[in-house]
A and B are shown apart, each in its own frame.
Chain A
Amino acid sequence: MKNNQKIVIGDRILTKKELFEEEEFRKERAKLSFEEKIRQLIELQKLASSWGNKKDVIVWKVS
């Protein structure tokens, strides 16, 4: 019998397969270069500053 068990994470409901794929995706992103991760971090800081109502966030600068 096919396993249809679902997993609830916050407001999301995932199948075990979907959860596994998501974890694999995260592991892949963990392998990005340090430089690329910092670039993405700076994008997150910009988002937090502009969308997240966190006006005091320090966005690391690009020289």
Chain B
Amino acid sequence: MAVPAEAGITLLILSYTLKKTLEVINELKKEGLIKDYAIGGAIGALRWTQPFFTEDLDIFIILKKETKEKELITLSPVYEYLKKSGYIWKGHWIIVEGVPVDIFPVDELEKKAVEDAEKTEYEGTKTKVIKPEYLIALFLRASRDKDLRKIEMILNQTNVDREKLNEILNKYGLTEKFTNFRKRYYEK
């Protein structure tokens, strides 16, 4: 975006495409295709830690219509909308304004994480980011090496509400997994 400055100099303000990506995701909510969403995964973690490499944006969505556990979840309306808007697929990602996006419909734990997520802004665009305590639970549940490294970063680099974390871990049966994680990472 070019902005004319007082002295006749044109200032060039660079805007990263993530802003536009989030605007598109916000449209999904405005259009009534989703009830709510929050950023999770690596970008969610990066909100709370020092910058680290990642390629994609994980978005956790609560669909308008609640789906029972054994029912088929359909993301077709969301993907149809994005496709109609001209966004294309690359592997498992849909590329929205140059950013590879993974869209996940929530399960019970993820739903709570989205509902509890921090309301924030990115370059003036409203969005939500999953808080550290829920990110830890989600990474712990996945427990790939890269997930465990993110837990370590979150625990070391940001303030984590231990009481809240313990409640979440306990509620979702992750306490033992967390104990084992701590043994592996901190008691070598």
Give the contact stretch, choosing among B47-55, B81-89, B134-142, B162-170.
B47-55
Nearest first, the 4 A-B pairs at minimum CB distance are: A29-B50, A61-B98, A40-B51, A30-B157
State the majority secondary structure of interface residues on A. Answer: helix
| The one of B55, B90, B129 that contacts A45, using a Cβ cutoff of 8 Å | B55
Which residue of B is nearest A30, CB measured? B157
Q: A34-B47, A37-B47 are in contact. Are A63 and B15 (CB under 8 A)?
A: yes
Q: A32-B51, A44-B52 are in contact. Are A37 and B157 (CB under 8 A)?
A: no
A21 within 8 A of B: no
| The one of B49, B54, B90, B122 that contacts A35, using a Cβ cutoff of 8 Å | B122
Q: Interface on A for B, CB 8 Å cutoff?
A: 23, 26-27, 29-30, 32, 34-35, 37-42, 44-45, 48, 57-58, 60-63
Q: A30-B48, A30-B157, A61-B98 are in contact. Are A38 and B53 (CB under 8 A)?
A: no
Which residue of B is nearest A36, CB measured? B51
**For chain B residues 1-44, which have a beta carbon within 8 Å of chain A?**
14-18, 20
| The one of B16, B123, B129 that contacts A42, using a Cβ cutoff of 8 Å | B16
19 contacts between A and B (CB under 8 A): A23-B156, A29-B51, A30-B48, A32-B51, A34-B120, A34-B129, A37-B51, A41-B46, A41-B52, A44-B52, A48-B53, A58-B56, A58-B90, A58-B99, A58-B100, A60-B99, A61-B17, A61-B98, A63-B15
B18, A26: Cβ atoms under 8 Å?
no
Q: Say which size band chain B's interface belongs to.
A: 20 to 34
Q: Which residues of A contact B122 (CB under 8 A)?
A: 34-35, 38
| A19–chain B nearest beta-carbon distance, Å | 11
Considering the chains assembled together, what is the distance between the CA atoms of A37 and B44 in angstroms? 11
Q: Which residues of B contact A23 (CB under 8 A)?
A: 156
B158 within 8 A of A: yes
Q: Which residues of A contact B53 (CB under 8 A)?
A: 41, 44-45, 48
Which residue of B is nearest A37, CB measured? B51
Considering the chains assembled together, what is the distance between the CA atoms of A32 and B52 in angstroms? 13
A57, B55: Cβ atoms under 8 Å?
yes
Considering the chains assembled together, what is the distance between the CA atoms of A58 and B90 in angstroms? 10
A41, B51: Cβ atoms under 8 Å?
yes
